[in-house]
Copies of this chain bind each other. A is one copy, B any other.
Amino acid sequence: MAGSYKTENGLAHLRVKYSDRFYMGPGRADLLQGIVETGSIAASGKRMGMSYKRAWSLVQALNDGWGQPLVETSRGGAAQGGASLTADGQTVLRSYRAMQEATRGAIAEEFEAVTRRLVDISKAT
């Protein structure tokens, strides 16, 4: 997942499990967001270095796990047709981004305290 390779310090990976069949994580959020931004499953996957097949199977896993479509294609599933998020897809993505932001705030104080200690160590050695 692209989310795993981001290089900023701080929150690096947040996975939230909703059921045995559905969870959200940074890679899934980036794929959904890419579909919003490019209007295409293939183009969204490509931005993340995924094959079309892999992006499509991830969309299927999202839709199947949720139980209703989060992503819909404008030509009824045609291989490279336009794609967009359903209302549920928008809700799930927006909620995940809100959780990432809330988490960054919630961990900030502890993160900074541990980082200060780490900086002290690297100065001393």
Point out residues on A near B: beta carbons under 8 Å.
Answer: 7-20, 22-23, 25, 66-68, 88, 91-92, 95-96, 98-99, 102-103, 105-107, 110-111, 113-115, 117-118, 121-122, 125
- Report the minimum CB–CB distance from A106 to chain B (whole Å): 4
List of B residues within 8 angstroms of A125 by Cβ: 67-68
The distance from the CB of A4 to the nearest CB of chain B, in whole angstroms, is 8
Cα distance A84–B13 in the bound complex, in angstroms: 28
Nearest first, the 7 A-B pairs at minimum CB distance are A13-B15, A106-B106, A102-B106, A12-B17, A12-B15, A99-B107, A95-B110
Which residues of chain B come closer than 8 Å to A105, judged between CB atoms?
Answer: 106
Closest to A67 in B: B121
